[in-house]
A = this chain, B = another copy of it.
Amino acid sequence: MHSHSPLNLSRLTAAANCTCFNLRKATRVVTQFFDEKLQPSGLLVNQFTLLVALEQAGSPTMKTLAQILVMDRTTLTRNLKPLLRQGLISVESGQDQRERIVTLTAAGQVALAKAFPLWEEAQQQVIEGLGKEQWQTLLSVLASTVSLMQRNVEIGG
């Protein structure tokens, strides 16, 4: 038992509390839950939120949309592909020919309207399951975390 790997218990318990691991784990199960709930709409939850962000932002550039979503520019490019293929969004050049203007199409608005009540039910189920107070706490701490990390990127990067 002592021949290799001087097993450090405090190290192990510490790592089980890894902020990132626990966030990723929760994101996996919650994403699966929302994806399943949204299934009749044909949208995945990430796609749903992209459409919502577009309805909200109007016709932003890729850069602006990426900043709103706190999503890497190149990730956004890839994430928009399925929506573009399904005709739910359109992408056009702006005055500045470098910029791409992303817009929700009529079909995208229909898809969003169809998906919304499904999303609403999933969201409500999470809020009820956690209890409203704990749910609000979660949202609040997640917001703090994003702020903190963005500050760190600005300073450290």
Residues of A that sit less than 8 Å from B by CB? 4-5, 7, 11-12, 14-34, 36, 45-46, 48-49, 52, 55-56, 69-72, 104, 106, 109, 116, 119-120, 122-123, 125-127, 129-130, 134-135, 137-139, 141-146, 148-150, 152-153, 156-157
Determine the distance from Cα of A57 to Cα of B25 in the docked complex, in whole angstroms.
17
Copies of the chain in the assembly: 2
Determine the distance from Cα of A31 to Cα of B134 in the docked complex, in whole angstroms.
24
* Chain B: minimal CB distance from A72 (Å): 8
9 contacts between A and B (CB under 8 A): A12-B55, A15-B49, A15-B116, A18-B49, A18-B123, A20-B27, A23-B23, A25-B71, A29-B149
Task: Using CB atoms, name the residue of chain B closest to A75.
Answer: B28
Task: Using CB atoms, name the residue of chain B closest to A12.
Answer: B56
Determine the distance from Cα of A45 to Cα of B122 in the docked complex, in whole angstroms.
29
Determine the distance from Cα of A79 to Cα of B18 in the docked complex, in whole angstroms.
18
What are the residues of chain B within 8 A of A26 when measuring CB–CB? 23, 142, 145-146, 149
